[in-house]
Amino acid sequence: EADIYQTPRYLVIGTGKKITLECSQTMGHDKMYWYQQDPGMELHLIHYSYGVNSTEKGDLSSESTVSRIRTEHFPLTLESARPSHTSQYLCASSESNSMNTEAFFGQGTRLTVV
Amino acid sequence: AQKITQTQPGMFVQEKEAVTLDCTYDTSDPSYGLFWYKQPSSGEMIFLIYQGSYDQQNATEGRYSLNFQKARKSANLVISASQLGDSAMYFCAMREQNSWGKLQFGAGTQVVVTP
């Protein structure tokens, strides 16, 4: 069973608010990822990290930012939420240097900005 | 450019029947991995099956099997003996050797299993 957790599961927030989506894993994985997914659509990589103090932007441009101060923790922050940020955000992690191991996903955060 | 293509937006299948979900991919890396995930309406991503580019045999995991045709760059998922609980979105994904572990996903196929 995957040990990767996201909080909150659901969040409804007003425009202009600052929000942080939490993601933690207890598997000791170096690599962590944030994907954005609109309902019924594909997942788009918005951020990833190879390890502590390493963060990179993904394929889809995002106004969010991430940090990786601890191996197990990879929070995503939106400084000023807008309705266009309404989406599902999925956090994932995987082992380093293992081509054939799957990425483990959290349960996702469904964000609605009103 | 789209690297993973899933051409079937949705499919209906009767309980106990088999269903094949199509996936084609594009890469110039000689080493890559192909994954299938299931996403129920609750939203979590559940790993189903993996196929490596150098694997000689098609992968199987219980009722799931992968029809891997390397020359055609296709990796179709076969679900045998469908169950009502198989109703979900199914995503094909690829990890290239030089991608630092990143997975690229297709657009997904919605499967609805009917009694």
Quickly list DSSP for chain B: --SEE---SEEEEETT--EEE--EE----SSEEEEEEEE-TT---EEEEEEETT-SS--EETTEEEEEETTTTEEEEEE-S--GGG-EEEEEEEEEGGGTT--EE---EEEEEE-
The Cα of B41 is separated from the nearest Cα of chain A by a number of Å equal to 9
pLDDT means over runs of 10, chain A (114 residues) = 88 97 95 93 93 92 94 96 96 82 92 97
Query: What pLDDT, in 10s, does the model give residues B37-57?
Result: 999 998 899 999 999 999 999
DSSP bridge partners of B19: B79
Per-chain mean pLDDT for chain B? 94
pLDDT at B99: 78
b/e per residue, A52-63, with b = 16+ CB within 10 A?
Answer: eeebeebeeebe
d(CA A84, CA B9): 24
Quote the pLDDT of residue A39. 85
Inspect the interface and report whether the beta carbons of B91 and A40 lie closer than 8 Å. Answer: no
| Residue whose entry in the numeric block shows the structure tokens 């690829």 | B94
pLDDT reported for residue A95 = 85
CB contact under 8 A, A100 and B104: no
| pLDDT for res B100 | 74
**What pLDDT was estimated at residue A23?**
98
CA-based nearest residue in chain B for residue A36: B105
Bridge partner list, B105: B93
Report pLDDT for A1.
Answer: 59
User: Residue A70: what pLDDT?
Assistant: 96
Question: What is the rounded distance in angstroms from the CA atom of residue A50 to the CA atom of residue B99?
Answer: 11
